[in-house]
Structure 1
Amino acid sequence: MTSAATSPPPSPPNAARTPLVAPLIVEFPFTRSLGPVQSAFLTGLRESTVLGVRTEDGRVLVPPVEYDPDTAAELRHLVQVGATGTVTTWAWNPEPRRGQPLDTPFAWVLVRLDGADTALLHALDAPGPEAVRTGLRVRIRWAATRTGAITDIVCFEPYDGPPENAGGEHSGTFDDPVTGIVTPARLDYTYAPGRAQSRHLHALAERRIVGERCPRCRKVYVPPRGACPTCGVATTDPVEVGPRGTVTTFCIVNIKAKNLDIEVPYVYAHIALDGADLALHGRIGGIPYDEVRMGLRVEPVWTDDGRYPDHYRPTGEPDADYDAYKELL
């Protein structure tokens, strides 16, 4: 007879797993049109001219805004201010990052340009923090080629001469005005998932989809969040769901995304996996985009390395009845 006590207790799920850490990059181009004030400001930079806007109480705001931040009154009275100014506060940046104005250590400064009542944020090229101080006089260093963007100002540099280019009233009229801009937005960070998401990711590597159940409302969330978004209590009970599911809603994408090798148009959908109470987001493949529909039954197609579903394809089953997924819309 063998005693059960001689057998070691089972290890908890993922007890010996290596913690997951991954570098992540979120990047997209932000495109916006410009109103008359911002258009004049950026077109002015292209012409080596800095414009501010005058408020009803006589203050000059740089950068200019289209509405008074205190009274919400519309502002259109443009004023040319100087290319020289005074540092009002600063912080030293010893390790410049990708996309910052300079690739050598520099100071972030707020500069009140001559003729302005507010300060402009930009970079100051200085040999070290000992060369920077509040009250330091500085001058704009213009880019050799200017396009009508804040980067037309390369940076500021220390200056001990007289004020430059404070011209007073300005019509804001230029030839070929800048009417829109595209600003690249990028966020680089290191992501370390918590307990719930780590268990979910480890299961995906085994081609399983695991969520967690709320102990109070009993809903199953995939991907798990570690806490129920409805009840606010911790979710610790793992539940394997799917892998098949039902398309609840979807959209047709007609614009090709950067670095995404998928021909347009294609479809992204919310998919309610069998046994889950929250629809997840996934691409639909293996079917023409105009045949995707609510209620379509789908299954995952895994990536070549088997780490996660690349997309979902039809299973061939009859469509799900609307009543079976209407609560998940």
Structure 2
Amino acid sequence: MTATPETLRAPLVVEFPFTRSLGPVQSAFLTGLRERTLLGVRTEAGRVLVPPVEYDPESAAELRDLVEVDATGTVTTWAWNPEPRPGQPLATPFAWVLVRLDGADTALLHALDAPGPDAVRTGMRVRVRWAPERHGAITDIACFEPYDGARRETPPRPHDGRFDEPVTGIVAPARLDYTYSPGRAQTRYLHALGERRTVGERCPSCAKVYVPPRGACPTCGVATTDRVEVGPRGTVTTFCIVNIKAKNAMNDAIEVPYVYAHIALDGAGLALHGRIAGIPYDQVRMGLRVEPVWSDDGRYPDHYRPSGEPDADYDTYKELL
């Protein structure tokens, strides 16, 4: 009986820049932060929402009635963060707080600079600490800090939302760090890749071979334990041309445009994703026969290239599209 290899665990980082354009309300809000001005929007019912939104959450009506609120407010709830992560507002322990700014009816999430959790409480008064350099982003608020002043009762002040050089778009970095454990089926799959073999698992009910294996058949709902070696060659079933700059797993830049494809490995019941290289991007086609090109360390296929075989007949892969 073959021993089950030790289940793998590894740190994994998913990171990308998220670019978006701004409508008139969000543009005014972020431009206002750059100018040390806090803007909200008034709903049909007269409530002031900070941060502002473009449509009324109750009536779905378009909202454009901007108002200015104060840079002071009240903590409505909080949670202590003892170990700040890279990219968070403060490098020292701080509290995440929801702050209802004076003049607003909703709360804004940000960081509170406090010496410890004993110094934070619901109902405490705080004020904005502005960043020394501001560019039109939520980070223009460096954090909140404790404030001894009472709540101002003056109503929100109307604002036309006009600024010189308004912010019209943002690039927000997104990053997720976690530890990934692939489980029994994919651990075996990854160990086999280290031997330059591709191994899937067959469903005992429908006989479909899943690569990578999932441990259970998503169609039949039964466990898959029968291991099946597939490939190494396969057929391109569908593909797309990519014009976004990227790097491969070895951190080498990939020349654009390039092609990502669904590849049905010989013997597999599903197509997997793979990059196609070794052929001009505009010559990649459905039915193209390909073979793996392994990474420098031999642990996984870095990409697939034409195998030199004749194209596969459509009827041989049409069920795998």
TM-score (norm 2): 0.96
Counterpart check, 1:264 vs 2:253: no
Q: Aligned residue for 2:293?
A: 301
Cα distance in 1, alignment partners of residues 179 and 32 from structure 2: 39
Q: Say whether the 8 Å CA contact 2:125–2:150 is kept in structure 1.
A: no
Q: Aligned residue for 2:179?
A: 190
Counterpart check, 1:97 vs 2:89: no
Counterpart check, 1:324 vs 2:312: no
Q: Which runs of 5+ in 2 are unaligned?
A: none
Q: Secondary structure at the match of 2:33?
A: helix
Q: 1:260 to 1:33 in 2, by over 3 A?
A: farther
Q: Which runs of 5+ in 1 are unaligned?
A: 1-10
Q: 1:226 to 1:325 in 2, by over 3 A?
A: same
Matching of residues 69-108 of structure 1 within 5 Å: 69-108=57-96
Number of corresponding residues: 317
Deviations 1:98-122 (A, max 9, x none): 1110000000000000000000000
**Residue of 165, 171, 174 corresponding to 1:176:** 165
Cα distance in 2, alignment partners of residues 247 and 185 from structure 1: 32
Tell me which moved more, 99-108 or 229-238. Answer: 229-238
Cα distance in 1, alignment partners of residues 21 and 236 from structure 2: 36
Q: Aligned residue for 2:229?
A: 240
Matching of residues 154-165 of structure 1 within 5 Å: 154-162=142-150
Q: Say whether the 8 Å CA contact 2:28–2:166 is kept in structure 1.
A: yes
Q: Say whether the 8 Å CA contact 1:145–1:152 is kept in structure 2.
A: yes
Q: Aligned residue for 1:8?
A: none
Deviation, structure 1 residue 231: 1.3
Cα distance in 1, alignment partners of residues 60 and 319 from structure 2: 43
Counterpart check, 1:44 vs 2:36: no
Cα distance in 1, alignment partners of residues 155 and 169 from structure 2: 26
Q: Aligned residue for 1:211?
A: 200
Cα distance in 1, alignment partners of residues 34 and 229 from structure 2: 58
Q: Secondary structure at the match of 1:115?
A: coil
Q: Say whether the 8 Å CA contact 1:211–1:241 is kept in structure 2.
A: yes
Deviations 1:36-75 (A, max 9, x none): 1111100100000010000111100010001111111111
Deviations 1:4-27 (A, max 9, x none): xxxxxxx32x43x33311111000
Counterpart check, 1:220 vs 2:235: no
Q: Aligned residue for 2:108?
A: 120
TM-score (norm 1): 0.94
Q: Say whether the 8 Å CA contact 2:208–2:269 is kept in structure 1.
A: yes
Cα distance in 2, alignment partners of residues 166 and 187 from structure 1: 41
Q: Secondary structure at the match of 2:253?
A: coil
Q: Aligned residue for 2:21?
A: 33
- RMSD of aligned Cα (Å): 1.3
Alignment identity in percent? 83
Deviations 1:158-216 (A, max 9, x none): 00125579751111111111111100000001111111100100100111100011111
Deviation, structure 1 residue 305: 1.1
Matching of residues 283-294 of structure 1 within 5 Å: 283-294=275-286
Cα distance in 2, alignment partners of residues 327 and 91 from structure 1: 52
Q: Say whether the 8 Å CA contact 2:234–2:289 is kept in structure 1.
A: yes
Q: Aligned residue for 2:135?
A: 147
Q: Say whether the 8 Å CA contact 1:82–1:166 is kept in structure 2.
A: no
Cα distance in 2, alignment partners of residues 177 and 203 from structure 1: 55
Q: Secondary structure at the match of 1:197?
A: helix
Q: Say whether the 8 Å CA contact 1:51–1:79 is kept in structure 2.
A: yes
Cα distance in 2, alignment partners of residues 287 and 166 from structure 1: 66
Q: Aligned residue for 2:219?
A: 230
Q: Say whether the 8 Å CA contact 1:80–1:166 is kept in structure 2.
A: no
Deviation, structure 1 residue 230: 1.2
